């Protein structure tokens, strides 16, 4: 009698999801990978990625994700369009069954890997999304290298903004730190490290009113919220550092997560519910890199396969 093949759903198609699908499919499971609302994840909003191992001259973000998806398909992964809107757990039998719901319907799986990622928060200005990757960025580690000896600005006042600004001072000749208040939420050590840097100039009580540029960022229109005065700031790059939001609304109240919504792994990459695993930016509040997400995707797939072997 032939052995029944285990089924695994991978929710999300960024570096974590694709790597999880590659390992799970190659490990013998029948895998469906749900693309989500942003197929390929945040890397598709970047241009050249220079810090992913194996690409000497760098690689376009969209091209990298297309290659990873094709590699997963090579081992049998099925690609499914759409978002997961809910997960139900059927515990009527000894082995739980996970029912994933989309607008189109529902399907059952033996295990689930959540790699739905996180989305960077933006300012919400009209020209902002048009210039993402062309002067507007949300990741200093990813894109800071392109601004060597340039003039740039960081928007934000928390630890994320300070971490981004501190990293960017290694490249830029001049950095403006723009914050809507005159006090920072950031920890003292992070704040002092940045504001005492001679490359940094503070622009406080100020918001970005407009991002100007056709194909590339040219300048910012700033507004002082105390005086209502506006001014122009010519810069080469803008890094928006006002935080990230994990894509976990569909499992709120069902899995353990922190106050922001990031999933909390327990043993390895397993979540608070046995049979549901997590990987990538959906649980990573610190690194948020393609390579660390891929590494977690590998671990989540291996953990899920080992768990399935144990519950047969």
Architecture per CATH, domain 7-119+244-311, reads as 3-Layer(bba) Sandwich (3.50)
Per-residue model confidence (pLDDT) at position 1? 41
Per-residue model confidence (pLDDT) at position 48? 78
Could you say which of 3.10.129.10, 1.10.287.3510, 3.30.1330.30, 3.50.50.60 is the CATH number of the domain covering 122-240? Answer: 3.50.50.60
What are the boundaries of each domain within the chain?
A: 7-119+244-311, 122-240
Q: CB–CB of 80/34 below 8 Å?
A: yes
Per-residue model confidence (pLDDT) at position 41? 84
- How far apart are the C-alpha atoms of 178 and 164, rounded to whole Å? 13
Per-residue model confidence (pLDDT) at position 309? 92
18, 110, 142, 303: the active-site residue: 142
**Residue closest to 77 by CA, chosen among 38, 118, 25, 39:** 25
- How far apart are the C-alpha atoms of 107 and 30, rounded to whole Å? 13
Do 7-119+244-311 and 122-240 have matching folds?
Answer: yes
Residue 142 among the catalytic residues: yes
83, 110, 143, 236: the active-site residue: 143
- How far apart are the C-alpha atoms of 22 and 77, rounded to whole Å? 7
Q: CB–CB of 278/269 below 8 Å?
A: yes
- How far apart are the C-alpha atoms of 144 and 153, rounded to whole Å? 11
Residue 139 among the catalytic residues: yes
Residue 249 among the catalytic residues: no
18, 139, 279, 298: the active-site residue: 139
Which positions ≥6 away from 10 have C-beta within 8 Å? Answer: 17, 20, 21, 24, 31, 32, 33, 34, 77, 113, 115
Per-residue model confidence (pLDDT) at position 190? 85
**Residue closest to 40 by CA, chosen among 21, 17, 9:** 17
- How far apart are the C-alpha atoms of 224 and 205, rounded to whole Å? 6
287 SS3 class: coil
118 SS3 class: strand
Q: What is the DSSP letter of 4?
A: P
**Residue closest to 187 by CA, chosen among 210, 155, 217, 157:** 157
Per-residue model confidence (pLDDT) at position 34? 97
Query: How would you write the pLDDT of the chain (312 residues) with one tens digit per residue?
Result: 456 899 999 999 999 999 999 999 999 999 999 998 888 888 886 667 888 999 999 998 889 999 999 999 999 999 999 899 999 999 888 889 999 999 989 999 999 999 999 888 899 999 999 999 899 999 888 899 999 999 999 999 988 899 899 999 999 999 999 999 999 988 888 899 999 999 999 999 999 999 999 999 999 999 999 999 999 999 999 999 998 889 999 999 999 999 999 999 999 999 999 999 999 999 998 888 899 999 999 999 999 999 999 865
Report pTM: 0.79
């Amino acid at each position: 009698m032939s052995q029944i093949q285990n089924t695994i759903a991978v929710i999300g198609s960024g570096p974590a999801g694709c790597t999880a699908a590659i390992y799970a499919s190659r490990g013998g499971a029948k895998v469906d990978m749900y693309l989500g609302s942003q197929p390929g994840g945040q890397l598709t909003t970047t241009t050249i990625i220079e810090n992913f191992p194996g690409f000497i001259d760098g690689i376009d973000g969209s091209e990298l994700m297309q290659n990873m998806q094709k590699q997963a398909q090579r081992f049998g992964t099925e690609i499914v369009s759409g978002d997961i809107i809910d997960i139900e757990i059927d515990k009527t039998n000894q082995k739980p069954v996970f029912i994933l719901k989309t607008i189109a319907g529902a399907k059952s799986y033996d295990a689930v890997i959540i790699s739905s990622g996180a989305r960077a928060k933006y300012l919400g200005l009209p020209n902002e999304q048009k210039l993402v990757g062309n002067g507007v960025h949300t990741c200093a580690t990813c894109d800071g290298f392109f601004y060597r000896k340039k003039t740039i600005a960081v928007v934000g006042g928390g630890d994320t903004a300070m971490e981004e600004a501190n990293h960017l001072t290694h490249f830029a000749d001049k950095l403006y730190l723009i914050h809507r208040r005159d006090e920072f939420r950031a920890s003292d050590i992070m704040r002092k490290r940045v504001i005492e840097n001679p490359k940094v100039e503070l622009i406080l009580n100020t918001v970005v009113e407009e991002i100007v540029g056709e194909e590339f960022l040219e300048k910012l229109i700033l507004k002082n919220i105390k005086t209502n005065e506006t001014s122009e700031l010519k810069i080469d790059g803008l890094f928006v550092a006002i935080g990230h939001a994990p894509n976990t609304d569909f499992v709120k109240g069902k899995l353990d997560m922190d106050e922001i919504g990031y999933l909390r792994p327990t043993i390895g990459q397993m979540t608070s519910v046995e049979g549901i695993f997590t990987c990538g930016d959906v649980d990573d509040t610190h690194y948020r890199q393609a390579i660390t997400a891929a590494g977690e995707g590998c671990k989540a797939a291996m953990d899920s396969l080992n768990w399935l072997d144990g519950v047969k």
